[in-house]
Amino acid sequence: MTPVDQPDTAAQPGVHPPIDVHSPVAEHAVEIATARKDIIRIATAGSVDDGKSTLIGRLLYDSKAIFEDQYEAVERASKGDYVDLALLTDGLRAEREQGITIDVAYRYFSTPRRTFILADTPGHVQYTRNMVTGASTADLAIVLVDARKGMLEQSRRHAFLASLLRVPHLVVAVNKMDLVDWSEEIFESIRDEFSAFASKLNVPDLTVVPISALHGDNVVRHSTNTSWYEGTTLLHHLEHVHVASDRNLVDPRFPVQYVIRPQSDAHHDYRGYAGTVASGVLRPGDEVQVLPSGLTTTIAGIDGPRGPVDEAFPPMSVTVRLTDDVDVSRGDLICRPANAPTATQDIDALVCWMADEPLRPRQRIAIKHTTRTVRAVVKDLTYRLDVNTLHRDPEAGELGLNDIGRVRLRATQPLFVDDYLRNRATGRFILIDEATNATVGAGMLTPAS
C-alpha cells in the first residue's frame, strides 16, 4: 500500500504525521515537475529604503527581462545621477513621488532554467497586510537588510511573518555593502544576528548573501569586491533552490471551481469538473470521494489545456471527468476515500486582519476556503499576537488593522480543511465583508500551542 492509500491520520485531532516526499508517487511527481521549466514565486520584504524595488529592477535588467523602450522610459524618469531601476516596479504615481512602495507590485521574468513571479511588498509597518498577501503563496522570501543599519524591527517582523506563513526558503540579502566598504565583519555580524533570531522561528532553509542592488554586485554576477564571500550569487541561488518537494504530493485535494458542460454536438455527453490541483497526485482509474456528499466513484479521465494527461499534480489546472454521474458543483472537493480532509464548522486559526474596522467577537463574516464560500460568525478572540516580541495578549478585545491573532469561527456549512503546516493550499482561507464584498482578513489553520 502506498502512502496515498493510507488513512489520513492528520484528520485526527493532534496527530500530524510527516509527509513522505520519498514515496514512489511523490518522487515520480517531483521528477515530472523538475523536468519541466519550474515556476517559482518569490516575495521581497524589508524596511523602507532597504532597496527592494531596486533589487528587483536589477534582476530584471541584468537578466535582460526588460525592453529597451522600458529602460529608456525609466532613464528619463530618473532624477539622480544614475538610472533608478526601482521605477521598473514602483509604477504608481504616489509611489514615485514618495520614493517608496505602497502596493504589492508583481513582475515576471525568465531565465533558461526557471520562470519567476516576483512580489515586491511594502516596507512600512502599516502595510503588513500587503506583506501577508505577497508571501502567502511564495516559495521563497527575500528579506533585505541595509548593511549600514543592520537588523531592524521590520527585519524581524518580516522574518517572523515569512515563518508564520510557512514560506519554505528564506534569503537574507545584506544590501548596500558598497556603503560600508564591503566590510566582511559587518556582513558576518548581520548574518550571525539574523541566524540567531531565525533559530527561534520555523525557518527550514536560510541563506545570507552580501549584495549591492544599485551596482549589481553578487546579484547576477560575482563581485570582485567580496573576495571573502564564497557563496553563490542571488540569481544562481534562486535558479537552483529546490522547491518541487515543498509541495504536498501525498494528500490528493481537488477543489471544484467550475462544472463544464459544452452541450454541443461534438461533446454531447461531456461533463467535467475544472479546477487547480491543490495537493497530491490524481490519475485516471483512481478511486475518489466527493465532499460533502461522500459519494465515491473513479476518475474516468483528466484533461489539460492541450488534451488528456496521464496524471495531475499541483499546481496544474485541469478538468477531471468521473465514471459515475454524481452530483458535483462549485465548492465541492474531490479526494481519496481513505485520505480525506477534516470536515468541520468550527474554525480555529491565526488571522491577519486587513480592514480599518476592527474584528470583534460575535461579528458576522464570510469565509472563502479554496472554492467554497460560507457564512460564519466570530465566536471568540483567544489572543492578539505581537509580531515584534512574539508575546500574546489574551486580554485583547479586538483585532485592528494589520493585527494578527487567534480567532475561533463558527461556519454555517462544513469546510474541508487540513492543517496549514501540512497543506498550505487547504489550510488557509480569506475573510470577506458581506456588505462590501471586500477581503478583510486572511487565516491559517494551525494547532493551538
Give the start-to-end residue ranges of the domains of the chain: 38-246, 257-339, 342-444
Q: Is residue 83 within 8 Å of 70, Cβ to Cβ?
A: no
Would you say residue 64 has pLDDT above 70?
Answer: yes
User: Residue 445 has which C-alpha cell?
Assistant: 489553520
Q: Tell me which residue of 167, 242, 163 sits closest to 424, measured CA to CA.
A: 167
CA gap 207, 142 in Å, rounded: 9
Q: What is the pLDDT of residue 192?
A: 95
DSSP designation for 237? H
> Is omega for the bond preceding 314 within 30 degrees of 0, making it cis?
no
Interaxial angle between packed helices 128-135 and 153-164, expressed in degrees from 0 to 180 and rounded to the nearest 10 = 40
User: Residue 249 has which C-alpha cell?
Assistant: 504530493
Same fold, 257-339 and 342-444: yes
Would you say residue 289 has pLDDT above 90?
Answer: yes
Query: For the domain 342-444, what is the CATH code?
Result: 2.40.30.10
Amino acid of residue 120: D
At 334-385, the pLDDT tens digits run 999 999 999 999 999 999 898 889 999 999 999 999 999 999 999 999 999 8
Residue 107 pairs with which residues in a beta bridge? 118
At 135-163, the pLDDT tens digits run 778 899 999 999 999 988 888 888 888 88
Mean per-residue pLDDT for 289-298? 95
At 72-84, the pLDDT tens digits run 776 677 766 666 6
Return the CATH class of domain 38-246: alpha beta
Q: Is residue 56 within 8 Å of 120, Cβ to Cβ?
A: yes
CA distances from 21 to 63, 205, 280, 311, 317 (A): 33, 17, 11, 17, 22
DSSP collapsed to 3 states, 170-213? EEEEEECHHHHCCCHHHHHHHHHHHHHHHCCCCCCCEEEEECEC
CA gap 80, 222 in Å, rounded: 26
- The 3-state DSSP class for residue 360 equals coil
Q: What is the pLDDT of residue 291?
A: 95
Q: What is the pLDDT of residue 384?
A: 94
Interior angle at CA 84, CA 80 and CA 85, nearest 5? 170
Grid look-up 460564519 returns: 376
CA gap 256, 253 in Å, rounded: 10
- Is the four-CA dihedral 99, 78, 183, 210 of positive or negative sign? positive
- What CATH fold (topology level) applies to the domain 257-339? Elongation Factor Tu (Ef-tu); domain 3 (2.40.30)
10-24, 29-43, 118-132: lowest mean pLDDT where?
10-24
Would you say residue 238 has pLDDT above 70?
Answer: yes
